[in-house]
Amino acid sequence: MCIFQTKYLLVLFSLLLINSHSLFAQSINGQLTTSDQYTRKAIELVAEGQTELARNEIPKGIELAKEEMNAHNEAILNYLLADCHYYENNFRTAIELYTETTKAFEQLHDTVYWLRSLNSIGLIHNLEENNSESLKFLTQGIEIANQVKHPNYDILHQKLMILTNIINVYNQTNDFEKGIKISNEAIGIALQINDSTRLGNLYNALGISHRKMDETDKAISYYEKAGKIFNQLNDQFTYSFVLNNIASLYEYRNSNDSALYYYTLAHNGFKAQSYPFGIAKTEYGLTAIYALENKMQKAQQHFENAVKTASEYNFNDILIDVLFDFSEFEYNNQNYKNAYQLIKQYLTLNDSIYSIEKEKEIANLKSKYELSIIENELNNLKSENLKQTYNMSLKIRQFQIALIFIVFLIAIAATIFIYYRQKNKANMLLAEKNIQIEKQNDKLIKANAETEKANKKLQQSRHELMLSNQLKDRFFSVLAHDLQNPFHHVIGFSKLLSDYYDTLSAEERKNMATDIHQSTTNINQLLDNLLEWNKAQTGDFSFNCENVIVNQLIDNSITLLSTAARKKSIELIKVYTDEVQIKADTKMLETIFRNLLNNSIKFTNIGGKIKIDAYTDDENFYGKIEDNGVGIDPKQLKKLFRIDSKFKTNGTANEKGTGLGLNICYEFIKYHKGKIWAESTPGKGSTFYFSIPKS
């Protein structure tokens, strides 16, 4: 059940509550007080969805409750006012009112409404994707409910709804084990209070969790339990969803007969409910099963129905899968023209697919080659250093032996001299020799210091070589990533053109040639950009500063990435209005905007928004890319622009990346003597800024 349905049930259950002051007044006067009447009317209006009318009536009721000194009615009316703002998406105002009612119901010892207020705050934070805050208030509600020694139906029902919302948060954060653990507690309460609808939803959620954990047997078992409940409740809409879940699992396990049976049941259910998404989804499932069974006529019929429905309602995710699977099926059945048309439509919708395994293979081979060179160089350096150290030690030992021998002779001579001359003079000579030995020791100490210094330089050289190897690895990764897709176009279309040239019409051959030309043009542009970046790293770069109209560069980047944005239903918004012109390198500036925009698309959820802005002040030009995507952990912000950082993550649609795009932006902005930085809040989005001096 969605959170809006949950809130709707909360309002309906409010009809059961009448505070003790109202009951006392009714028992004496035989009728409800004026504030009671306003409270009941407000409850009915909110339950019927007439929030605007309710907002006009509630303030009058609050004033009457204050006059009657009826604190409970006042708190309930404030809670209903918060509900109105909630349904109208005024979340900040709603949270402020729910916070006030939380304190009021706590003081009034009304545990049910206290729990509802906490649950409502948790729901709003969940809607705003602030999962930590959501869990904070929902967990507080569970702790309060657990303190009730003998909970009645209302307490248990409210605890069940809070547990369900906690499960939703854990599933959204892929913490399935915690969700499953809490589900078992929630199922026990649902059975205790005989809430069949909530029980069915919990079984279905458990099925989804176990499927994502690849535990298919458990998933099917829970789906079947959920389906049985919804069928008994005659809830055909939800029952059809459960049937579709079961069918997709049987398809995954290659049980075609069972998959066909459940897909057919789900399809009929969605058609009876006139639900387009479910119809398109099950048509796609039936297409796949009939194709596997080689029942061409039925497969073609369901394929056409799936494409028609998905195209009409812009269900692009379904459409992409249908086109790809059926093109492969047509190709295997030697219907090459149909396969060509289908794969062409698929490539248009999904032109960002590339082979990550080949990219890794190229990067690993290059890494091994570079590392072998580094090891050889380091071994040579070590050998030379060891030879020098050995020769130096040998000379020192030879000198020490000679010195000892000389001292010995001098000692004998001194003894004889003392015997014949003076003892003092011999001592003076011996002292001089001791001074010489100390000087030699000083030289040895200096030699050791120079050796240590050489070792430090050797370690520094090794570190610099490792950084260089990292940089080259990233370079080859980007090369594989950016060239993979256009090469797929060239290889695919040239293969079709070569094998079936005589069977293709002139228009089809021309279209293929046009596609090949466009792909090779894209490859050439990518190579130019990558070579320019490589020149920047090696210092062999021509920095061409000229007058640039920034608006045109941004439009070019938006056009280039519009397909990727449409695929995820992301809206690209140009904030700037005036034409901005600065002095900069055109290629570098366009590359900066393209990489930052591509990065935002990758980490923005489906249906999100990205704002692009460009403006100037007295000293600098500023670029700004703002998204409402998944955001970045503050600990990771410092790693974004470092070439030696291993920070890398997948996009919201599991897009792969090398992490080099932001490093390229950093290098190009550094050439302009500018700055780049980012601000981000996890779960809410990120904003990337860069500045370039006007001078």
The confidence band for 166, taking pLDDT boundaries of 50, 70 and 90, is very high
For residue 110, give every residue at least 6 positions away whose Cβ sits within 8 Å of its Cβ, in sequence order, or none: 17, 19, 72, 75
The confidence band for 521, taking pLDDT boundaries of 50, 70 and 90, is low
Alpha-carbon distances of 648 from 53, 174, 203, 232, 400, rounded to whole Å: 52, 19, 36, 49, 58
Contact 104, 78 (CB under 8 A): yes
The confidence band for 362, taking pLDDT boundaries of 50, 70 and 90, is very low
Tell which wins on pLDDT, 527 or 95: 95
For residue 272, give every residue at least 6 positions away whose Cβ sits within 8 Å of its Cβ, in sequence order, or none: 236
Lowest mean pLDDT among 10-14, 261-265, 392-396, 472-476: 10-14
CA distance 610 to 3: 27
CA distance 75 to 66: 10
pLDDT at 405: 67
* Rg of the chain on CA atoms, in Å: 38
pLDDT at 329: 73
Contact 555, 580 (CB under 8 A): no
pLDDT at 408: 66
pLDDT above 70 (res 467): no
What mean pLDDT value characterizes the chain?
79
CA distance 587 to 496: 35
pLDDT above 90 (res 110): yes
Lowest mean pLDDT among 80-89, 462-471, 494-503, 617-626: 462-471
pLDDT above 90 (res 570): yes
CA distance 425 to 194: 116
Alpha-carbon distances of 338 from 324, 332, 491, 546, rounded to whole Å: 12, 11, 18, 50
3-state secondary structure of 573: strand
The confidence band for 14, taking pLDDT boundaries of 50, 70 and 90, is very low
Q: How many CB atoms lie within 10 A of CB 431?
A: 10
pLDDT above 60 (res 379): no
pLDDT at 656: 52
Residue with structure tokens 């290889």? 491
In percent, the amount of the chain with pLDDT more than 90 equals 30
Residue with structure tokens 């439509």? 345
At residue 203, what is the residue type?
A: Y
For residue 25, give every residue at least 6 positions away whose Cβ sits within 8 Å of its Cβ, in sequence order, or none: 32, 33, 36
User: pLDDT tens digit string along 389-424?
Assistant: 445 545 565 665 677 767 767 877 777 777 667 667
**Phi, psi dihedral angles at 582 (to 5 degrees):** -140, 170
The confidence band for 633, taking pLDDT boundaries of 50, 70 and 90, is confident
31-35, 85-89, 436-440, 640-644: which has the highest mean pLDDT? 85-89
pLDDT at 655: 62
For residue 64, give every residue at least 6 positions away whose Cβ sits within 8 Å of its Cβ, in sequence order, or none: 34, 35, 38
The confidence band for 470, taking pLDDT boundaries of 50, 70 and 90, is low
3-class SS letters over 207-241: HHHHHHCCCHHHHHHHHHHHHHHHHHCCCHHHHHH
For residue 195, give every residue at least 6 positions away whose Cβ sits within 8 Å of its Cβ, in sequence order, or none: 157, 160, 189
pLDDT above 80 (res 618): yes
Q: How many CB atoms lie within 10 A of CB 476?
A: 19
Across the range 586-590, mean pLDDT stands at 88
pLDDT above 60 (res 348): yes
Contact 572, 626 (CB under 8 A): no
Residue with structure tokens 């002292």? 431
pLDDT at 2: 41
Topology classification of domain 546-693: Heat Shock Protein 90 (3.30.565)
CA distance 178 to 166: 10
Largest CA distance in the chain: 142
DSSP 129: T
CA distance 342 to 492: 13
pLDDT at 650: 63
pLDDT at 398: 61
3-state secondary structure of 615: strand
For residue 4, give every residue at least 6 positions away whose Cβ sits within 8 Å of its Cβ, in sequence order, or none: 87
The confidence band for 242, taking pLDDT boundaries of 50, 70 and 90, is very high
Q: How many CB atoms lie within 10 A of CB 318?
A: 20
In percent, the amount of the chain with pLDDT more than 70 equals 77
Contact 87, 49 (CB under 8 A): yes
pLDDT above 70 (res 575): yes
Contact 269, 236 (CB under 8 A): yes
Contact 59, 78 (CB under 8 A): no
pLDDT at 483: 67
pLDDT above 50 (res 358): no
CATH number for the domain running over 1-173? 1.25.40.10
| Residue 328, token pair as written in the block | 């492969």
| Residue 389, token pair as written in the block | 């150290």
At residue 413, what is the residue type?
A: A
3-state secondary structure of 623: strand
**Phi, psi dihedral angles at 266 (to 5 degrees):** -65, -40
Q: How many CB atoms lie within 10 A of CB 266?
A: 27
Across the range 258-282, mean pLDDT stands at 91
pLDDT at 564: 78
CA distance 354 to 373: 30
Whether CATH 1.10.1370.30 fits 235-350: no
pLDDT at 390: 45
The confidence band for 113, taking pLDDT boundaries of 50, 70 and 90, is very high
pLDDT at 491: 86
pLDDT at 512: 82
Across the range 351-361, mean pLDDT stands at 41
Contact 287, 325 (CB under 8 A): yes
Of 180, 181, 145, 178, which Cα lies nearest the Cα of 162? 145
Tell which wins on pLDDT, 692 or 311: 692
| Residue 568, token pair as written in the block | 């995820």
CA distance 88 to 86: 5
CA distance 524 to 527: 5
The helix or strand, by DSSP H or E, that contains position 612, with its residue range, turns out to be strand 609-616
The confidence band for 482, taking pLDDT boundaries of 50, 70 and 90, is low
Alpha-carbon distances of 566 from 2, 570, 606, 626, 637, rounded to whole Å: 27, 6, 9, 17, 28
pLDDT above 90 (res 573): yes
At residue 689, what is the residue type?
A: Y
User: pLDDT tens digit string along 46-76?
Assistant: 888 898 998 888 999 899 999 989 999 999 9
The confidence band for 244, taking pLDDT boundaries of 50, 70 and 90, is very high
At residue 158, what is the residue type?
A: Q
CA distance 572 to 284: 30
The helix or strand, by DSSP H or E, that contains position 375, with its residue range, turns out to be helix 356-420
| Residue 67, token pair as written in the block | 């006059």
Q: What is the DSSP string of 478-531?
A: HHHHHHHHHHHHHHHHHHHHHHSTTTS-HHHHHHHHHHHHHHHHHHHHHHHHHH
